Amino acid sequence: MRVLVTGASGLIGGALAEALLREGHEVICAARRPGPAHARRIPLTVDFAGVPSEVWWLAHLVGVDAVINAVGILREQGVQTFAALHAQAPIELFKACAAAQVGVVVQVSALGADGAAQSRYHLSKKAADDELRALPLRAAIVQPSLVYAPVGASAGLFNQMAALPVAGLPLGGAMLVQPAHLGDVVDGIVALLRDPPAQQRTIAFVGPEALTLREYLCELRRALGVAGPLRVVPVPEFAFRWAAAVAGHIPGSSLDTETAGMLLRGNTASAETFARLLGRSPRPASGFISPTEAPALRAQAVLGVWLPAMRWAIALLWIWTGIVSLGLYPVQDSLALLGRVGLEGVPAQLALYGAAVLDLALGVLTVAAPGRWRRAVWVAQFVLIGAYTVLISIFLPEYWLHPYGPISKNLPLIVAIGLLWTWEPAPAKAG
């Protein structure tokens, strides 16, 4: 069978393409960056943001037996809008499928894309679903709930929440979810291609039971092997929505007003039809993470929580040190210390205020430097702390014996900076 998969570079589309290739199908992988061609894998470069027309699609549907639309975004970015990617472009594709008499079409929609939909995400999915239902096609509209995949950004976020010592959750995490594992979602779609529905069907792809968000996180925490129970602090709904609005302005954040509204709504459905399609019960949340996967996923989750916190803590340390040096600590006392190092008068003042400005700059750069600079920022901090430690050890050795440890605390700080430096991705090679 020749199958066209749109969104083939995404989480669900990519997994589907691999599963279909393993079964011996010829797969047309349609995406903005479809990757290389090989045996039975045909790349097709297409950007749904440009809304390819029905006529454009017709030229690429010759000989195609089945089409799976797995294009989806969680947040809008520039021209990548819900209207274009979820509604307008799929509708053009579905019209072309009807004109080309494609054997079967599978639309990967979302649970909640129904008459009660309120978010632009769900409404845009529903618009394409409704158009597909109106066309003379054998089709299945699959509506997954939350999809868990070890490599997925969404799963990574929930793993991080599960790894927190204390989680602040709206409504105390009482909203209901019914997550499905990516493997089950892929198996369900492949089953639909093996035995296409005689008439159009809408199927909820959900786990075997509904869980509160708190219960879901507790299941993930146990599977990850994180010690201790998850402690939950209820967050008022208005505070959560406000935080989501702020997070929506942070690049790469999975949380914004849209996703917050969808989470608060919750989404559940009967798993009976999905189980019949699979020929077995869907995987429960307790089985999402295997014992062999747990150590690596736990490390990712813990680092995902604490590395950003460490970065901000170090940034604030530098900034506060600079502010204190500029005058909160008596300037005469600072100059007296510099005198013991051999600096007096103007050189001492230049050293004091120059170091203060340098501390402030390093603090700001710690959180604001572009990616290509960050490794250099960590090296500068490492060198500066090392130099401070050596000078103080030579000229003010008694500070090693101070009960508050003003110098010995540099040792764990150097280790933390080394960890952050190591974690930075290697710079991209030119060409």
Same-domain status, 179 and 279: yes
120-133 helix and 257-265 helix, angle to the nearest 10 degrees = 70
So what's the pLDDT on residue 46? Answer: 94
Residues 381 and 275 reside in one and the same domain:
no
For the cut 70, the answer to whether the pLDDT of residue 428 exceeds it is: no
* 326 plus 279 within the same structural domain: no
Both 277 and 329 in a single domain? no
The arithmetic mean of pLDDT across residues 208-219, rounded, is 95
User: Global pTM?
Assistant: 0.86
Of 72-76, 79-83, 183-187, 255-259, the one with minimum mean pLDDT is: 255-259
Domain shared by 282 and 309, yes or no: no
Angle at CA of residue 58, ends 55 and 63, nearest 5°: 170
Q: Judge whether residue 431 has pLDDT over 60.
A: no
Task: Name the residue range of residue 350's domain.
Answer: 304-423
Do residues 201 and 158 both lie within one domain? Answer: yes
Round to whole Å and give the CA distance between 158 and 241.
18
Q: Report the CATH number that the domain containing residue 217 is assigned in CATH.
A: 3.40.50.720
Name the domain boundary from 289, 313, 334.
Answer: 289
Question: Quick one: 118 and 200 in the same domain?
Answer: yes
Q: Are residues 133 and 214 in the same domain?
A: yes
pLDDT in tens, 346-388: 999 999 999 999 999 999 999 999 888 999 999 999 999 999 9
Q: What is the pLDDT of residues 147-176, one digit of tens each?
A: 999 887 778 889 999 999 999 999 899 999
Tally of domains in the chain? 2
How confident is the model at residue 101, as a pLDDT? 95
What would the pLDDT profile of 282-329 be if each residue is shown by its tens digit?
A: 999 999 999 999 999 999 999 999 999 999 999 999 999 999 999 889
Lookup: tokens for 375? 């490794």
Domain assignment present for residue 298? The answer is no
Is 403 a domain residue?
Answer: yes
Domain boundary among 234, 259, 289: 289
If asked whether residues 211 and 80 sit together in one domain, one would say yes
Both 329 and 280 in one domain: the answer is no
